[in-house]
Structure 1
Amino acid sequence: MRNLVEEYKKGYVSLVETVAGLSPEILSFKPSETAWSVHEILIHLADAESIGIQRMKKILAEDNPLLTAYDQDAFASILSYKDQDYKLALEIIKLLRKSFAFVLEALPAEAWDRTGVHVERGKVTLEELLGGYVDHLKGHIAQIHRNLDAYRALRLVQQ
């Protein structure tokens, strides 16, 4: 479990390194009309982080709790992701990960097998859920790289 917690802790640093120095134009660039910009991805990650930690806390504090789903596209639209402060989102992710890593590091071995029931995925252990959030961040870092590649390709075509 220690490796998984370390990966979780390092995720924020990888994210910050990925977006460091990006211009406002690149941050707001969308590779397609339906795709998210890097800015929107960062806001989404802050929301996902807070929801993920709430789910993990429920698994730790309750017996087999129900873990609700949410519509990420509705969040992005209705909560105006494009207008929110991405720097604040990065700070939220940093603080949430730092504070919850403390909880994770102190857990006894048996806590990792505690379960909840996700309304879409079914039964999930704390270990699986944490692994999912580690992978979720990695997936969005890869998405950011794809956005950057699409931006660069478009700039080359325009030259």
Structure 2
Amino acid sequence: MRSLSAMPDYLYEQFDSLTAEDARLPGPGGAFSPVEQVWHLADLEREGFGVRIRRLRDEQAPRLHDFDGARIARERHYRSLSLREGLEAFAVARKANLATLQSLPGEAWGRSGTQEGVGIVTLCELPALLLQHDQAHRLEIEEWKRRQAESQVRPHEGVSAR
């Protein structure tokens, strides 16, 4: 759970100093920009993982919907939103989900349902799925930062000092 609770701080460290313009620069191959990253994470945390956690806790063998992150990003125009508000929304949602998970009695961890596109999932698997998703986004963020650093160097390449 400690790794999961560290993700909001990681996002703040990576993105808090970006200008509004830089926060909207897309990643390589059309990957999410920083502002799209944080809003995707916030919405998935609330509407994906949060809903799954509550339904698995409260319902008998629920059928859980998939979360189409790319479609939702387009529909909600993530790139036009506030980076700061997205960071805050994710932090609040992650804190709430972790509090819910930590409050579960031992017998609840075996509760299961069927997630569209995944199959059977149990409450005990959700922390690992959250962590796996966080790690995938960390890699995307590191790649975005690397590409941005390279693009800052390129304009100066080929200029000879005389």
| Structure-1-length-normalised TM-score | 0.89
Q: Which residue of 2 aligns with 1:135?
A: 132
Matches of 1:127 and 1:25 in 2, distance apart?
Answer: 40
Matches of 2:64 and 2:12 in 1, distance apart?
Answer: 29
Q: Is the 8 A contact 2:23 2:83 kept in 1?
A: no
Instruction: Give the aligned CA root-mean-square deviation in angstroms.
Output: 1.6
Of 27, 31, 37, the residue aligned with 2:33 is: 37
Matches of 2:99 and 2:89 in 1, distance apart?
Answer: 16
* Percent identity (aligned): 26
Higher Cα Rg, which structure: 2
User: Displaced runs of 4+ in structure 1, greater than 6 A?
Assistant: none
Q: Which residue of 2 aligns with 1:147?
A: 144
Q: Which residue of 2 aligns with 1:79?
A: 76
Q: What is the aligned residue count? A: 155
Instruction: Find the residue that maps to 1:120 and give its secondary structure.
Output: coil
C-alpha deviation, 1:20, in angstroms: 2.9
Q: Is the 8 A contact 2:16 2:84 kept in 1?
A: no
Matches of 1:116 and 1:86 in 2, distance apart?
Answer: 34
Instruction: Find the residue that maps to 1:123 and give its secondary structure.
Output: strand
| Structure-2-length-normalised TM-score | 0.87
Tell which deviates more after alignment, 10-19 or 119-128: 10-19
Of 62, 65, 70, the residue aligned with 2:62 is: 65
C-alpha deviation, 1:33, in angstroms: 5.4
Relative contact order (C-alpha < 8 Å, sep 6+): which is higher?
Answer: 1
Q: Summarize the alignment of residues 96-107 of structure 1 with structure 2, pairs less than 5 Å apart.
A: 96-107=93-104
Letter in 1 for 2:75: I
C-alpha deviation, 1:42, in angstroms: 1.0
Q: Is the 8 A contact 2:28 2:147 kept in 1?
A: no
C-alpha deviation, 1:52, in angstroms: 0.9
Letter in 2 for 1:103: T
Letter in 2 for 1:74: R
Q: Which residue of 1 aligns with 2:19?
A: 23
Instruction: Find the residue that maps to 1:117 and give its secondary structure.
Output: strand
C-alpha deviation, 1:126, in angstroms: 1.0
Provide structure 2 residue ranges, at least 5 long, that are not aligned to the other structure.
157-162
Letter in 2 for 1:57: R
C-alpha deviation, 1:27, in angstroms: 1.4
